[in-house]
Structure 1
Amino acid sequence: MHPRKHIEIPTFARKFQHLDMRFPKYYLAAVTAFLIWGFFSFGLKPLHEYPSLDILFYRIFFCAPIMTIITLLFRRNTIIETRGILRQMPSAQKKKLLLLTFGSALLLMANWFIFIYVMNHISVSAASFAYLVCPILTTVFAYFILKEKLASLQWASVGLSVLGCMLLSYNNFTTIIYSLMVAATYALYLIMQKKITGIDKFLLLNVQLIIIALILLPFYPAYSGPVPQAASFYGYISIIAVLFTIIPLFLNLYALKGISSSSVGILLYINPIIGFLLSAFYYNEEITLFQIAAYSLILVSILLFNVRSFVKSTT
């Protein structure tokens, strides 16, 4: 019997195996989340005749029970494990966790309301611009708050993003104000999620949505419009709740477990680029040469920012 020969794995194959283990999982989660969000207008635009606050009410009131049911039915072990973690946690750390969870819930609620208003009452391109500003703010916040370091190439990509956003803001100051409000709330939300460690992300998101639902519930009788009668309204709200809220938010939180807030922030550009293309070719909104040039610069900035992480994962 001949001894078994040792088969040498080619270098490129070893690199591919290494890449498969380290690179795709968290990046794929983030990319998938932002791809889904890029098509959010398909779920939201058909509801433009309804008040933004009503859409927010029903979005939350659908999301919170759905996630709670999933958690209670399929994630009981996670609840037990989390309860054990909380029992062993020092009181100061518990207080910090509570503040971060409550604060991030408020930021998420504010972000959703402003975004719905911008999408349905200003323009799809304005909503897209909001999430062009967001990655820049996320990167800057992560640098100062989380002390995440950036390489020179990554700072160069941030500079290109700033230039692109300046081109987009030309002669459109109102859009900048709304965009900054949407961008800042979501950027700070991402930063807060990164600071919450040791807690299951799906359960964390579930708790945040319950907090938002409890905050909004007392305001519903006074500030909601007439109860919608059209079945299509509840159909679109269900799609928004599951496809455009629960799934991408969970993927986003999962991605933050394995990649930096800065990387997630830059990948967020996928969302507004899709939104820009839809506004131009599907919703037939007016597009200028400044916008085309700006989005081109931002696309280059995404590639520059992430190329270093990709190269490191393959070596």
Structure 2
Amino acid sequence: MPLNKYFFYALFSFIIWGFFSLALKPLHNYPSIDILFYRVFFSTILLLLLNITLRKDIVKNSWNTFLTFSKKEKKQFLTLTIGGGFLLVLNWFLFMYAVNHVSLQSASFAYLICPIITTVLAFFLLKERLNQWQWIAVLLCIISCILLAYGHVQDLIYSLIIATSFALYLISQRKNGNFDKFIILTIQLVIASFVLFPFFPKYAGPIPTASLFYNMMALIVILFTIIPLYLNLYALKGMNSSAVGILMYTNPLIHFILALFYFKENVQITQLIAYGLIALSIVVFNIKKKTTS
């Protein structure tokens, strides 16, 4: 894989998400669903303000560009953008549901299974071809997931559903490449807000009053939502979905390193082997492709 700006944008987005637990940890006393509500609503408000105040010319040019699209192009853009918004909020909702009502293990598995599903779906839906080394990398990922999922079949089923929703999001946005990514992200988060808002009065807790909540939420919104999502969408302009999917393994690798060295959690030998295979798969998928291209 060429080490161009798209590669580094994708890699950086998953590195950022890998440290998400550091921002969530101070909010452990707040319900997960509340964090989801405020994360989406605040992100949407900030994006709308940025577009209205600082990006008016870009929004106007993008609108003019949209008007030049053929009827077919307009339909495709609207379908992929709106569909992407629903897939995004579905993924976040399923993830939070798994954390609250299934198990944290199922949510963690989703990060590990998603790159494999993305790669396979991109192969069949987008006709993205993989060389033999890349298929070997996928096989290593599958082996690592089997090691981590052993004895947790129910968690694995929930993980498959969560992972598939985000894999479909990545694939859909890979085809949605001819438009300003910041505007696409804004539209998708507006959709996410509309989907979540009817649930807010019933399921949200009391409005938080502590400054810690809003300080951490500002960090989550800017650093762990808007920036990585934008980088991810931009990377899809110049990378295959399968390549972005494999780089997604950077996220759980960082989670594992933080758990081991920062949070001092106990680690089993099977976990060490599995995460070692994941690290190896990233190297095989990327470096080997470069040497054969």
TM-score class, shorter-chain normalisation, is over 0.9
User: Does the alignment pair 1:184 with 2:164?
Assistant: yes
Aligned residue for 2:279?
A: 299
RMSD, aligned CA:
2.0
Aligned residue for 2:92?
A: 112
> Paired residue for 1:171, among 134, 151, 160?
151
The CA distance in 2 between the partners of 1:269 and 1:46, in whole Å, is 25
Q: How many Å apart are 1:131 and its aligned residue? A: 1.1
The CA distance in 2 between the partners of 1:81 and 1:24, in whole Å, is 27
> Paired residue for 2:23, among 43, 62, 65?
43
Aligned residue for 2:246?
A: 266
Aligned residue for 2:56?
A: 76
- Give the total of aligned pairs: 292
How is 1:130-149 mapped onto 2 (pairs within 5 angstroms)?
Answer: 130-149=110-129
1:62 partner amino acid: F
> Paired residue for 2:260, among 277, 280, 294?
280
SS in 1 for 2:128: coil
2:129 partner amino acid: K
Moved more, 279-288 or 62-71: 279-288
Maintained 8 Å contact 2:113/2:160: yes
Aligned residue for 2:14?
A: 34
SS in 2 for 1:229: coil
Q: How many Å apart are 1:51 and its aligned residue? A: 2.1
Q: How many Å apart are 1:93 and its aligned residue? A: 2.6
1:144 partner amino acid: F
Q: How many Å apart are 1:178 and its aligned residue? A: 3.2
What does the per-residue CA deviation read over 1:39-67, in whole Å, with 9 as the maximum and x for residues that have no partner?
11111232232222211110011101111
**TM-score (structure 2 length as normaliser):** 0.93
Aligned residue for 1:204?
A: 184
SS in 2 for 1:199: coil
> Paired residue for 1:239, among 206, 214, 219?
219
Q: How many Å apart are 1:312 and its aligned residue? A: 5.9
**TM-score (structure 1 length as normaliser):** 0.87
What does the per-residue CA deviation read over 1:47-95, in whole Å, with 9 as the maximum and x for residues that have no partner?
2322222111100111011111112222223212221221122223322
**Deviating 4+ runs (over 6 angstroms):** none
Maintained 8 Å contact 1:45/1:120: no
The CA distance in 2 between the partners of 1:40 and 1:75, in whole Å, is 28
SS in 2 for 1:197: coil
The CA distance in 1 between the partners of 2:97 and 2:279, in whole Å, is 26
Q: How many Å apart are 1:284 and its aligned residue? A: 3.5
The CA distance in 1 between the partners of 2:273 and 2:118, in whole Å, is 23
1:299 partner amino acid: A
* Residues 202, 165 of structure 1: alpha-carbon distance in 2 compared, 3 angstrom cutoff: same
The CA distance in 2 between the partners of 1:70 and 1:304, in whole Å, is 40
The CA distance in 2 between the partners of 1:39 and 1:120, in whole Å, is 20
Maintained 8 Å contact 2:141/2:281: yes
Maintained 8 Å contact 2:141/2:277: yes
Q: How many Å apart are 1:277 and its aligned residue? A: 1.7
Maintained 8 Å contact 1:114/1:182: yes
- Which consecutive residues of structure 1, in runs of 5 or more, have no partner in the other structure? 1-18
2:5 partner amino acid: K
Maintained 8 Å contact 1:205/1:250: yes
Moved more, 60-69 or 211-220: 211-220
Aligned residue for 1:10?
A: none
